[in-house]
Amino acid sequence: MAEGMKVVVDEGRWLATPAGTEARFLADRFARAIEDDHALFVLDDGDRIAGCLGLHPSAADGVLELGMWLLPDVRGRGHGRRLVEAALEEAVRRGAHKVQLEVYPDNPRGVALYAATGFEVEGVRRDHYRRPDGSLRSAIVMARLLG
């Protein structure tokens, strides 16, 4: 799983994790998430893990954080939507009342996916993430209240 995420991390466009992060560090993050009972959903396309979505606790009771990655060659095929829908069902099962996420403004496909699955923009974190080159990136905060 870490090797797949490393491919997306090294694209340097979609995730806050800096490009060049070692796969062993990512593997440690996955191991801790599993130990701490975070919900992880994987996209298995036969011989590899081609994507993953995690639901993680937040600082607020009843609110879960969503993070997702998909390998480039499986994007645009509806896999992200299926992962999000499964995660929302799990969030309800876990008693959450809200799921939130951050997405970069220059990821219109991601913003559209989350909007299509019921997430609404709650705000923008302006110049929130410092990139390795020193530049700053904003992030759109989106959330969905659960019924």
**Residues forming beta bridges with residue 51, ordered by sequence position:** 43, 70
Query: Can you tell me the distance from the alpha carbon of 20 to that of 80, in angstroms, rounded to the nearest whole number?
Result: 24
pTM here is 0.91
Query: Can you tell me the distance from the alpha carbon of 143 to that of 101, in angstroms, rounded to the nearest whole number?
Result: 6
Q: At what angle do helices 23-35 and 2-11 cross, to 10 degrees?
A: 120
- For residue range 4-35, list pLDDT tens digits in order: 899 999 998 899 888 889 999 899 888 999 88
- For residue range 61-105, list pLDDT tens digits in order: 999 999 999 999 999 999 999 999 999 999 999 999 999 999 999
Number of separate domains in the chain: 1
| Residue 65: both structure tokens together | 């954080």
- Pairing relation of β-strands 98-103 and 49-57? unpaired
CA proximity to 131, closest of 6, 19, 22, 25: 19
Query: Can you tell me the distance from the alpha carbon of 49 to that of 2, in angstroms, rounded to the nearest whole number?
Result: 9
> Taking the CB of residue 107, how many other CB atoms lie within 10 A of it?
15
User: Which CATH number fits the domain that encloses residue 131?
Assistant: 3.40.630.30
Range of the domain at 9: 2-145
- For residue range 113-135, list pLDDT tens digits in order: 999 999 999 999 999 999 888 99
